[in-house]
Amino acid sequence: MASATIHGRALHYVLKIGNREKNAFFFREILGMQVDRHEEFKEGCDAQCNGPYDNRWSKTMIGYGPESSHFVIELTYNYGVKNYELGNDLGGITIKSKETLERARSKNYPILQEEGQQVLTSPDGYKFFIIEEPQPRDTDPVLSVTLNSTNIAASKEYWHGLLKMKVLNECPNTITLSYNEKNAALILKQISVPLNRAKAYGRIAFAVPLNEQPVIDTIIREANGTILTPLITLDTPGKATVRVIILADPDGHEICFVDEEGFSELSQVEEDGDRNLTKFIKKDPFQDKD
């Protein structure tokens, strides 16, 4: 399997959120993203898409365009769970958009400084690094997702050596990878403290052709890697069925590979997605009314 090629496409990163109303304001009114679709579920996901919770939950896909051409954020909400312990697994998400900073300033939303970068922090503590340049219209403003690593060499061997991501840039403490340079990149950054995924841990997702999922399965098994969820079919009521395989890298970062064929149908933008999110926020018996 050493010569296998994986034709991947970056899709989204999963963030667990505790208050949908506050997050809807942040992602829509500050970051300026649009809801692609909103889905409600009565029980937990067989692939733990909502974490280790067997309860009613929802997912909201939100970004600067359709997931067929943009990297989006999956906001996962578990009814009745108001907050999660935040770890240090996610370094942050980088966006090119001076318009976002202008909105933040006009609404008095705090803009922080970190290592010379301007940072907006979501209601749950997730960091968004904002590059103060005009937001591109023809390409995705979401440039990269940074995940922290305790061993950059081991991370490179996993993501590049096993999962076949291309190395775009490499420094002593960071490595930038991608399956396709048109998509958001993955940045792995060395940290000098133990990695703690805590309760808010996320998951990054990629689409690959259906016939390449078993190839990934074989690659990871032959390397004695971690498969959290073997190839499994997931249903979304009234929508397309998809097949996924969930992995964990050496630091425990979760990786979902979903079949491109099914996901392309599942991820169609819904005209009523934004209205549905607002509707379920108003109906939520656990939502703080402040």
Beta-ladder partners of 255: 204, 247
pLDDT tens-digit readout, 217-229? 999 999 999 999 9
Both tokens of 248, joined, read 């964990």
Say whether pLDDT at 138 is over 60: yes
**Residue 68 near residue 267, CB atoms below 8 Å:** yes
DSSP assignment string, 232-283: EEE--TTS--EEEEEEE-TT--EEEEEEHHHHHHHTPPPTTHHHHHHHHHHH
Residue 47 lies in a domain: yes
Give the pLDDT mean for 40-58: 92
State the Rg of the chain over Cα: 18
Q: Can you give the pLDDT at residue 118?
A: 97
Residue 73 lies in a domain: yes
All residues at 6 or more sequence positions from 126 whose CB lies less than 8 Å from its CB, including other chains:
15, 86, 90, 92, 93
Say whether pLDDT at 102 is over 90: yes
Strands across the sheet with 57-63, in order?
34-41, 57-63, 72-78, 9-17, 203-208, 254-259, 242-248, 226-234
Residue 262 lies in a domain: yes
What is the value of pTM for the model shown?
0.96
The tally of CA atoms less than 13 A away on the side-chain side of residue 150 is 12
Domain that holds residue 58: 9-283
Q: Can you give the pLDDT at residue 235?
A: 81
Question: Per-residue confidence at 183, pLDDT binned at 50, 70, 90?
Answer: very high
What does the alpha-carbon distance between residue 234 and residue 256 come to, in Å, rounded to a whole number?
12
pLDDT tens-digit readout, 61-85? 999 999 999 999 999 999 999 999 9
**Residue 139 near residue 182, CB atoms below 8 Å:** yes
Q: Can you give the pLDDT at residue 290?
A: 52
Q: Can you give the pLDDT at residue 3?
A: 62
Residue 20 sits in a domain whose CATH number is 3.10.180.10
Residue 290 lies in a domain: no
Count up the domains in the chain and report the number.
Answer: 1
H helix runs in the chain, sequence order: 20-24, 98-106, 152-156, 213-222, 260-266, 273-283
Residue 288 lies in a domain: no
What does the alpha-carbon distance between residue 74 and residue 86 come to, in Å, rounded to a whole number?
17
Residue 57 lies in a domain: yes
Q: Can you give the pLDDT at residue 276?
A: 96
Say whether pLDDT at 267 is over 70: yes
